[in-house]
Every structure is written in C-alpha cells, then in structure tokens.
Structure 1
Amino acid sequence: MSAPSVAELRAVAQPQTTMDRRSGEHWAGLLYMRKLSIYATWVLAKTPISPNQVTGLMIVCGVLAGAVLAIPGFWAAVGAALLIQVYLLLDCSDGELARWTGRTSIAGVYLDRVGHYLAEAALLIGLGFRASQVLPDWYTVLGVAAALGAILIKAETDLVDVARARSGLTAATDASAGHFQSRRLGAARKVAAALRFHRVIQAVELSLIVVVAAVLDFWFPATRILTVACAVIAGLQLVLHLVSILASRRLS
C-alpha cells in the first residue's frame, strides 16, 4: 500500500464515529493525543509493523512505566509519566493503523483490553513499591490491593458483555449504561461521575498525579498518602461500580 497523506489517513483512521463516541475514548485522546497520534500512525503506515505489534509495544510501555515508577526519586516519576504518554499515543495509533490497513481483528481488541489491565495494575503496584522506598511493607500491599481493585473494576465492565453474549443478547449500549431502574441511583451515579474521583486510579491521570506527589514529597510524604488514597478509591469504586451495573439496564 502506498504511503497516504495525513489527510487521507485521518479520513479513514479517525472516522467521526470514533471521534464522537461517548465511551471508549479517553479525554486526553480527544483533547490532544488524537491530534498527535495521526502523525505517528502516518509513520507506522510506512513500515511493515502490524496493528497488533503496535499494541504489543503499548503494553510494554505501560508495564515499563510501572517498573520505572517503583524507582525512588523525582525523575523516575517523570519518566513513568512520559512512558504513559507514549502508551496512550500507541493506544490511539494501533486502532488507527488497523482501520487504515483493514486489519481490524477480535485479537486486536482483546490485546488492547489486556494492555489496559496490565498498565493500570503495573502503575499502581509501582506506586506501592515507590511509597515503601526501600523494602516492601504495607504500602506495597496497598499498591497491590489498589491494582487488584482496578483490574476487578475493568472486569466488572467487561463481564457485562460476557453475560449478555451468553444470554444471546447484543453488547450493552451507552444509553443502557446511563438508564437506571431507580431515579435515586441514577442521580447518585451522575454525582459520582461529576466528581471524577475514579480517575485517580487510571493510568494517565495517576501518572500525572504521581509527578505532583513527587514534588510534594520534599515537604511531606505525599506519595504514601496517594498510595493509601488509591487503595481506598479502588475499593470504594469496585463496590459502587458493581451496584451501578446491577441497578442499570445493562443486564436486561
């Protein structure tokens, strides 16, 4: 396939259905990364690399960010944040390259989900080791607990489609996710969504917060406070998310 122009690539790789979708698109992607990723995809389109191989690189960057974060010091936090930005860039480009080359696949979707699981878990585990500073202690345990919570929250979402598929139903829509049988629960979900506290344990947001915490560590143990907060938020969100799913129309 001949090398496309950026405009030709954007028309196919970034269709309006992708750019307008309510879920499945990170705010950072819409804000700035999709503007950058199209150029990375343009370069990748000139190489023999496959979309799934790009996803593999994405996974490596996400896991490596967690390993780097475990290293004490300010610059390790900055390095982890930069690796997460590369992870986000590749997360955008793998799908764009798949759409351009026509090599979309179920395996690609699966690998993408695995990458998100691994990156968020690795970053939270890295945070726990970072808070421990020298030897593993209770902060390490809290980091691992937060990572487990983050994985289970994602599993709760993915298991909706598993349950629907096994019942002969199609995948849940955004409309069903926001439609609750109880008005009070619907109102509570809107309040929780507005507060955005669940984003603290997501990879992009957490990597940026960690850099701020690394600066504040010069005056007080901000990283340790953040680790405790992540464990609490993960546990709370795990329960609230389950209640939200069971109370919505997604399972009917």
Structure 2
Amino acid sequence: MSMPSLAEFRRIAQPPATLDRRSGEHWAGLLYMRRLSIYVTYALARTPITPNQVTGLMIVCGVLAGVVLALPGVAAAFGAALLIQVYLLLDCSDGELARYTGRTSIAGVYLDRVGHYFAEAALLIGLGFRASETWPDWYTVLGFAAALGAILIKAETDLVDVARARSGLVAATEESAGQFRSSGLARARRIAAALRFHRLVQAVELSLVALVAAVADRFLGEPFVTRWLVVACAIVAAVQMILHLVSILASRRLT
C-alpha cells in the first residue's frame, strides 16, 4: 500500500482532538513533541513495526533512563534526560501509529499505562541511588518511597475507572474531574493545580530538574542538590498522594 502525503497522514494519525486533550496531553507534547513525532511516526508506518512494539520500546527507554540516572556525573544525568525525551517521543508515536493503522487495542492502552508507571518509578529509584553514599542508605529508601508514591498517585486515577466499570458506569469524563461537591475544595484544587508542584515526580520534569541538580553538584563537589531533590520528591509524592485521593473522593468522578 502506498503511503499518503504527510498532510493526509497527519489528518489520520494526529487529529485535532489529540491536541485538544488538555488534561490528557503532556505540556511538552503540546509545545514541541507532537510537531516532531508525526515525522517519526510517518517513517515508522513504512516499517513492519506495530504500535504495541513502539510502546515496548517506550517502556525500555523509560526504565533505562532510571538505570542511567543512578550513575554518577553530569553525562549520566544528561543521558537520562535524553532517554526520557525519546520515551516521550515514542509515547506520542505509538498512538499515532495505532490510529493510522487501525490497530488500536485495549492491550495497547494497558501497555501505555504500564510504561508510565515504570518510567516514573525507575527515574525516582535511580535518583535515590544517585544521591546515595553507600547502597543502600536513607536516600535509596527515599527514592523507593517516592517511586511508590508516584505509582499510587497514578493508581488512584486509574482505579476511578475500575470502580465505575465494576458499578456498570462508563469511564469518568474530564469535566467530572473538575466538579466538586464543595466550592472550597474546588478552589483549593485550582490553587494546587496552579502551583504544579506535583510535576516534580513526573518523568519529563524530573529528568530535567535532575540534570540541573547534577550540574550544580558538579560545582559543589558533592551531590548536595541531588540529595535535597530526593527529599523533595519523597515529600511531594506523599502529599500529592493524599491530596489526590481527597480530590477524587470529593469530586463527582465516583458518582
């Protein structure tokens, strides 16, 4: 089968609805990655690779970023940040390829979610090892604790649809996430969302902050900034885990 023009390919693989998903699309995807991913997907569509195989490569890049981040030095931090960018690129391309080929599947959605779990957990664990003087020490433990918190935050979101499905309801809409029974809680959620502190434990942001910390540590001669970053990630993960749970229970997503 001959390939369509890039414009026609974009219309199928990257419809406007994809970029309109403000809550489901990462800011880096909206800002620049979707502009790049369509060219990569266009090239991948000429090969036998499947969307799920692209997702598998995405998972490998995410986990490998955590392994690389555990190594000392600025070069390792830069390598981890670069791997996360490739991870984000493949995260965009797998869905685009699935839409173009018609190979969308529940397994693909599942693997995509698993990939996000693995990447964020691996990066936080790698950061904990990076900050450690000996393996294991308290920074290692905090890295694992932050990873557990990040996983539980994602699980809290995903379990909303599990609970609704088991109750015979359709998946929650984006609008229901912003609807609260209390105006005070709605205002508090808007303030928390505006501060965006939760992004510290997300893969793209964390990889960039870890790179900045590595550069600062190079000048200081010891991983002082990285150690504070591990502590901050553990605190943010714990606080966000509690706030996110309260937000879900107080919203209309479970009604």
What TM-score do the two structures reach when normalised by structure 2?
A: 0.97
Give the conservation status (yes or no) of the 8 Å contact 1:197–1:233: yes
CA distance in 2, matches of 1:187, 1:2: 53
Give the conservation status (yes or no) of the 8 Å contact 1:55–1:112: yes
Counterpart residue identity of residue 89, structure 2: L
2:225 corresponds to which of 222, 226, 238: 222
Matched position secondary structure for 1:185: helix
Matched position secondary structure for 2:22: coil
Matched position secondary structure for 1:155: helix
Match of 2:203 in 1: 203
CA distance in 2, matches of 1:212, 1:33: 21
1:16 to partner: Cα distance: 1.1
Match of 1:238 in 2: 241
Match of 1:136 in 2: 136
Matched position secondary structure for 1:124: helix
- 1:147-180 CA-partner distances (Å, limit 9, x unpaired): 0000000000000000000001110011110000
Matched, 1:40 2:40: yes
Counterpart residue identity of residue 125, structure 1: I
Aligned positions of 1:66-145 closer than 5 A? 66-145=66-145
1:136 to partner: Cα distance: 1.8
Matched position secondary structure for 1:46: coil
CA distance in 2, matches of 1:142, 1:21: 33
CA distance in 2, matches of 1:135, 1:123: 16
Counterpart residue identity of residue 249, structure 1: R
1:4 to partner: Cα distance: 2.7
CA distance in 2, matches of 1:26, 1:20: 11
Which 4+ runs in 1 deviate beyond 3 A?
none
Counterpart residue identity of residue 7, structure 1: A
Give the conservation status (yes or no) of the 8 Å contact 1:74–1:211: yes
CA distance in 1, matches of 2:58, 2:233: 23
Matched position secondary structure for 2:104: coil
Give the conservation status (yes or no) of the 8 Å contact 1:72–1:133: no
Match of 1:184 in 2: 184
Counterpart residue identity of residue 43, structure 1: A
Query: May I ask how many residue pairs the two structures share in their alignment?
Result: 252
- 1:190-225 CA-partner distances (Å, limit 9, x unpaired): 000000000000000000000100011122600000
CA distance in 2, matches of 1:158, 1:3: 37
Counterpart residue identity of residue 91, structure 1: D
1:19 to partner: Cα distance: 1.1
CA distance in 2, matches of 1:171, 1:93: 24
Give the conservation status (yes or no) of the 8 Å contact 1:214–1:222: yes
CA distance in 1, matches of 2:105, 2:2: 22
1:133 to partner: Cα distance: 4.2
What TM-score do the two structures reach when normalised by structure 1?
A: 0.99
Provide the aligned C-alpha RMSD in A: 0.8
Match of 1:154 in 2: 154
CA distance in 2, matches of 1:204, 1:133: 25
Q: Matched residues, percent identical?
A: 78
1:250 corresponds to which of 236, 248, 253: 253
- 1:93-129 CA-partner distances (Å, limit 9, x unpaired): 0000000000000000000000000000000000000
- 1:26-72 CA-partner distances (Å, limit 9, x unpaired): 00000000000000001100000000000000000000000000001
Match of 1:165 in 2: 165
Give the conservation status (yes or no) of the 8 Å contact 1:81–1:207: yes
CA distance in 2, matches of 1:151, 1:12: 33
1:6 to partner: Cα distance: 1.6
Matched position secondary structure for 1:62: helix
